[in-house]
Amino acid sequence: MHKCLLLLLITLGSYALHSQEPTIQRDSSAIENDTISKIDYLKYLGNGYFPTKFLNVDLRYLVKFNQYEGFRTGLGGITNDEFSEKYRINSYVVYGFKDHRFKYRIGGGFRINEATDTWINLSYTDDLQETGSSSFLTDKRFFQFFEPRLLNIDLFHKHITKAINIEHKLTNHLVTETEFAISKIEPTYSYNFVIGNESFRSFDISTAKISAQWSPFSHFETIKDKVTQTKEGFPKFTLQLTQSFKNVLKGDFNYFKVDFRTRYKITHNDKVFSEIVLSSGLATGNTPLTHLYHAYPNNITKETVLQRFSVAGINSFETMYFNEFFSDRFATLQIKHFVKPFRITERYRPQLVLISRFALGNMQDIERHQNITFGTLNKGYSEAGFEINKLLFGFGLSFAYRYGGYHLPEFADNLAAKFTFNVSL
């Protein structure tokens, strides 16, 4: 298996290197056609890709760090239209230096309808996933040069997943994805999921998902024979349904999940705006902790504020401690107001952001989840704070305070002080 992974790594690297070899004696028109414009180049980088002729190298896999793997490094990428407009390969290989283990994904797809941008994708993945995390199939790629929450995450589960996925655009404003997957799950921490007289340390899950994203107020135009979004409109709505099947391809559990999110942006002028994100989820049936919900906490369990000093996330609860709460039903509301930047000089303009976050959740049959201790969010969780961004080289400062139903007795335990990091291309 390691030989296969090494071969995949070499192949991806060879594509990247070969695609950058200089071509001699090209005329000006060829140079113009082959050269990626500066705007397109920055757009690729902003999405986390380093573009080459046939392969866009995926920057997400170069270097990361977390509490379980330590440093995690590797190489990945996806073929582009120069390689083929009908077929694509999307794969990666990484290695964790603390757990001494390779992780990888081998995947690809083929387009069956250009007008509706319909693709069928196949993948085989052997990797880790954070317990309690959730995502939507239809989410656009989200990339950060630095992902602060990863540094302190320690609750992962291993998964080997085989999946078939169908992407389909019903209209420019409504895109869908459907997926059927089978996964072998093994938590990396002490955990048993108990149902009746059965106790599961590891388990198999067979799921069907359908996800839809509706952007009714966005504007689209056909540019160079491709439909391009010219204006991002709000609100946006995303809905995802998941059904797990017992006794289908060795699946151990029946459960059903529904996830919903809406994003809204209120623009006061080109520099002053507010962002509102409402997220919710509901899981019924026999759902293991690995597939339940947390509220994206980002606070490590240390005694003093300075010991907890780290980097603030984008949409995480900065005062909520890791593994403090899990839910089978939850809702979060996050509100950010971006104040007009302070014009210190022509180029130096820090910006104040006012933040409020709320979370509400609960869990039935909490006794099923054994060898792990956590609370629920039934009393309602609240925090408020502010950020001062772009103070120096993209770095800023963040302060948040925890209040309400889960306010802690000691003042310092409710306070979070952190760096922020924002880079715009």
Determine the pLDDT at residue 141.
58
268 and 366, same structural domain?
yes
Q: Find the domain containing 407 and state its range.
A: 114-421
User: Residue 323's closest CA among 61, 68, 95?
Assistant: 68
pLDDT at 421: 84
Question: Are residues 159 and 257 both part of a single domain?
Answer: yes
Quickly count: other Cβ atoms within 10 Å of residue 27's Cβ: 8
Residue 29 lies in a domain: no
* Closest to 342 in 3D by CA, of 351, 332, 333, 334: 351
**Number of domain units in the chain:** 2
* 130 shares its domain with 209: yes
Residue type, 122: L
3-class DSSP state of 338: strand
Question: Is residue 148 domain-shared with residue 262, that is, in the same domain?
Answer: yes
229: domain CATH number is: 2.40.160
What distance in Å separates the CA atoms of residue 404 and residue 145, rounded to the nearest whole number?
34
Angstrom CA distances, 212 to 16, 170, 237, stand at: 34, 10, 8
Please indicate, yes or no, if residue 90 is contained in any of the structural domains: no
Query: Does the residue 102 lie in any domain?
Result: no
- The verdict on residue 106 lying in a domain is no
| Token pair belonging to 384 | 């408020």
Q: Domain check: are 133 and 41 in the same one?
A: no
Is position 367 within any domain?
Answer: yes
Same domain, 287 and 399: yes
CA dist 425 and 410 (Å) reads 41
What six digits make up the tokens of 171?
């209209």
Rounded Cα distance, 330 and 270, in Å: 34
- At residue 29's C-alpha, the angle toward residues 27 and 30, to 5°, is 65
Whether 244 maps to a domain, the answer reads yes
Residue 150, class by beta-carbon neighbours within 10 Å (0-12 exposed, 13-18 middle, 19+ buried)? middle
Euclidean distance between the first and final Cα of the chain, in Å? Answer: 39
* Cα(358)–Cα(377) distance, integer angstroms: 10
The count of C-alpha atoms lying within 13 angstroms of the C-alpha of 374, restricted to the half-sphere facing its C-beta, is 32
pLDDT at position 146 is 62
| CB-CB contact of 387 with 355 (8 Å) | yes
Same domain, 134 and 54: no
**CA 91 to CA 79: how far, in whole Å?**
9
Among all chains, which residue has been given the structure tokens 């003093």?
304
From residue 58, give the alpha-carbon distance in Å to each of 5, 47, 143, 254. 17, 9, 10, 35
Reduce the DSSP state of residue 137 to 3 states and report it.
coil
Residues 71 and 205 in one domain: no
Q: Write down which residue in 83, 105, 122 finishes a domain.
A: 83
Per-residue pLDDT of the chain (425 residues; tens, 9 = 90+): 544 444 444 444 444 444 444 444 445 444 444 455 676 776 777 677 888 889 999 988 999 999 999 999 999 999 999 999 999 999 999 999 999 999 999 999 999 999 999 999 999 999 999 999 989 999 875 556 667 788 889 899 999 999 999 999 999 999 999 999 999 999 999 999 999 999 999 999 999 999 999 999 999 988 877 888 889 999 999 999 999 999 999 999 999 999 999 999 999 988 899 999 999 999 999 999 999 999 999 999 998 998 999 889 888 999 999 999 999 999 999 999 999 999 999 889 999 999 999 999 999 999 999 999 999 999 999 999 999 999 988 899 999 999 999 999 999 999 999 999 876 55
358 shares a domain with 260: yes
> Are 68 and 190 in a shared domain?
no
Query: Quick one: pLDDT at residue 143?
Result: 58
Distance CA 169, CA 215 (A): 12
Find the radius of gyration of the CA atoms of the chain.
Answer: 23
Contact by Cβ (8 Å): 259, 280:
yes
Among residues 83, 104, 123, which one ends one of the domains? 83
Strands 317-321 and 297-299: parallel
Half-sphere exposure of 8 (CA within 13 A, CB side): 22
In a domain, 172, yes or no: yes
Does residue 91 belong to any structural domain of this protein? no
Are 287 and 408 in the same domain? yes
Locus of tokens 């809204």: 264
Asked if residue 316 and residue 262 are part of one domain, the reply reads yes
Confidence (pLDDT) at 126: 98
d(CA 3, CA 276): 48
